[in-house]
Amino acid sequence: MYKKPISDVFKQVGVTLVNPQWSWGGVTDDLDVLFLRIWTDQSKKFDGKLYARITDYKKRKAEEGKTNLGWKERLEHLELMKEGITTYCIKCKENDKDSTSGRIRDYDDTICLVGGDLMMQDGDYWLEIVGSEKIRNIVNKRKQR
């Protein structure tokens, strides 16, 4: 079954990605909601709460010297999260778990995870996942504004 490109989902929720190839997320055109790509294998429970990894400083350190515009953009998104922007996450599965390419094999085009508080753990930032919402409901809410 054909699945539209993930960039189409971002457009659907009102985000124009800086670059569909390397952007890891984006802010809605009205600048009030952040949508991020996260990897399904990068979630973990801390104190009984589910979190998604937002940064991977160890991986980034291993790639030191390489230009990574997606990483630069992710750090900008991190600052917005620290300021309290509403954040939704689109769950993605990586093409090859051992690869560093970041290519998406599959993603959930029906539900976004709802982000909560940020926390630093093991040298990385993690976003608490406080719920989920159907993408069509998010789109409808945004249209009603």
pLDDT digits (tens, 9 = 90+) for 10-61: 999 999 999 988 899 999 988 899 999 999 999 999 999 999 999 987 776 6
Interacting residues of 28 by C-beta distance below 8 A, sequence separation 6+: 13, 14, 15, 34, 35, 142
Examine the pLDDT at 101 and tell me if it is beyond 60. Answer: no
pTM reported for the whole predicted model? 0.88
Decide: 135 and 118 in contact? Cβ < 8 Å.
no
pLDDT digits (tens, 9 = 90+) for 66-94: 767 888 899 999 999 999 999 999 999 87
Fold of 33-143: PUA domain-like fold (2.40.450)
- The tokens of 129 are what? 């996942």
